[in-house]
Chain A
Amino acid sequence: QLQLQESGPGLATPSETLSLSCTVSGGSISSSSYYWGWIRQPPGKGLEWIGSIHYSGTTYYNPSLKSRIAIFVDTSKNRFSLRLSAVTAADTAFYYCARVAYIRSSWTGFDYWGQGTLVTVSP
């Protein structure tokens, strides 16, 4: 059974760079059919896609966050990571990692999700 687990600090200071990782177990991150994504959700609010990455390094980013984010993959550790720079209180959210299939030139949906990790941005 595929499992995804987010890790990283639960607290960040305004203006700093937030780093989160997602470790994949029960399957390989290097499968050609899948992309790996980050989605966040401020407490009590809706979902916001941050970006997605393929093991080859191909990335897609949310245009509204593109200037502040970087997503990269480490196939040797079967994990992918997110860096979000210049954080503010507005970046306080649950951060989820998830898998999505891209098959026959069509996207499916995020079918496996991590449990999520709450990141609070506060002085």
Chain B
Amino acid sequence: SYDLTQPPSVSVSPGQTASIPCSGDKLGDKYACWYQQKPGQSPVLVIYQDNKRPSGIPERFSGSNSGNTATLTISGTQAMDESDYYCQAWDSSTVVFGGGTKLTVL
């Protein structure tokens, strides 16, 4: 089975840039998505097809995907960005999620 690996936690200071990696074998050959999930809420899609932002998602969210690593980047991180973030990829037509990363803004 295909696996995606994320660090359990990432910390960032307000106003700085946060980078959350997601690694998987030849992940760059697949499309990656990213979801933000706040406590008690459903996940929200913030990036799809590696680097596309859905309508309503702030421009400070961006994504990249190359080699074995996809990265979610949050520029000018705000306190409201403190959340769990999950990467997701398509392995043929099956869905794989990473284990999630808790982003702390402090």
- Spell out A's residues near B (CB within 8 Å): 37, 39, 46-49, 52, 60-64, 96, 106-111, 113-116
Would B43 and A63 count as touching, CB distance under 8 A?
Answer: no
Question: Which one of B42, B45, B97 has the highest number of Cβ atoms from chain A below 10 Å of its Cβ?
Answer: B42
1/0 per residue, CB under 8 A from A, across B80-106: the answer is: 000000101010011111111000000
Within 8 A of A (CB), among B11-33: 31, 33
Give the 9 A-B residue pairs with the shortest CB-CB distance, closest first. A109-B48, A109-B33, A49-B95, A113-B42, A47-B97, A109-B45, A46-B100, A108-B48, A60-B93
- Spell out B's residues near A (CB within 8 Å): 1, 31, 33, 35, 42-45, 47-49, 52, 54, 86, 88, 90, 93-100
- The distance from the CB of B10 to the nearest CB of chain A, in whole angstroms, is 15
- 16 other A-B residue contacts (CB within 8 Å) besides A39-B43, A110-B33, A113-B43: A47-B35, A47-B43, A47-B86, A47-B97, A60-B93, A63-B94, A107-B31, A108-B33, A109-B33, A109-B45, A109-B47, A109-B88, A110-B45, A111-B48, A111-B54, A116-B42
Q: Which residues of B sit under 8 angstroms from A96, Cβ to Cβ? A: 42-43
Would A60 and B1 count as touching, CB distance under 8 A?
Answer: no
Would B35 and A49 count as touching, CB distance under 8 A?
Answer: no
Would B1 and A63 count as touching, CB distance under 8 A?
Answer: yes
A63 (CB) vs chain B CBs: closest residue: B1
Residue from B31, B42, B86, B99 in contact with A106 in the complex, judged by beta carbons closer than 8 Å: B31
Residue from B42, B54, B86 in contact with A46 in the complex, judged by beta carbons closer than 8 Å: B86
Q: Which residues of B sit under 8 angstroms from A61, Cβ to Cβ? A: 94
Would B97 and A110 count as touching, CB distance under 8 A?
Answer: no
